[in-house]
């Protein structure tokens, strides 16, 4: 999976997570992790695990670029 990882603030290529627990692990260990995980679950309800992470990453990448207002 190639995605923007908001925890490290850059694009990365990583193996696809197979579970929600793994996806949440990937979004952990950051001061804003709670917000990242909330966003993941918003997407996850509509999509799969991988798509949920990709869309979450896109949201925070846009925010970092100033294209989306902060929460």
Residue 41 lies in a domain: yes
For residue 22, give every residue at least 6 positions away whose Cβ sits within 8 Å of its Cβ, in sequence order, or none: 49
| Residue 35: inside a domain | yes
* Enclosing domain of residue 26: 2-7+18-64
Tokens representing 11 are 């694009």
71 part of a folded domain? no
pLDDT tens digit string along 28-39?
Answer: 999 999 999 999
Q: What is the mean pLDDT of the chain?
A: 95
Q: What phi, psi does 44 have (nearest 5°)?
A: -60, -35
Domain count, the chain: 1
Which pLDDT belongs to residue 68? 80
Residue 70 belongs to a domain: no
Residue 13: inside a domain: no
- Let me know if residue 12 belongs to a domain: no
Write the DSSP assignment of 9-68 as a string of letters: TEEEE-PPP-SHHHHHHHT-SSTTHHHHHHHHHHHHTTS-HHHHHHHHHHHHHHHHTTSS
Calpha distance 23→19 (Å, rounded): 6
């Amino acid at each position: 999976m190639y995605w923007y990882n908001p925890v490290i603030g850059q694009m990365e290529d990583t193996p696809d997570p197979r579970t929600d627990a793994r996806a949440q692990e990937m979004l952990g260990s950051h001061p804003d992790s709670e917000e990242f995980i909330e966003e993941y679950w918003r997407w996850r309800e509509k999509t799969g695990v991988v798509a949920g992470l990709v869309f979450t990453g896109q949201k925070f990448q846009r925010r970092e670029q100033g294209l989306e207002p902060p929460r």
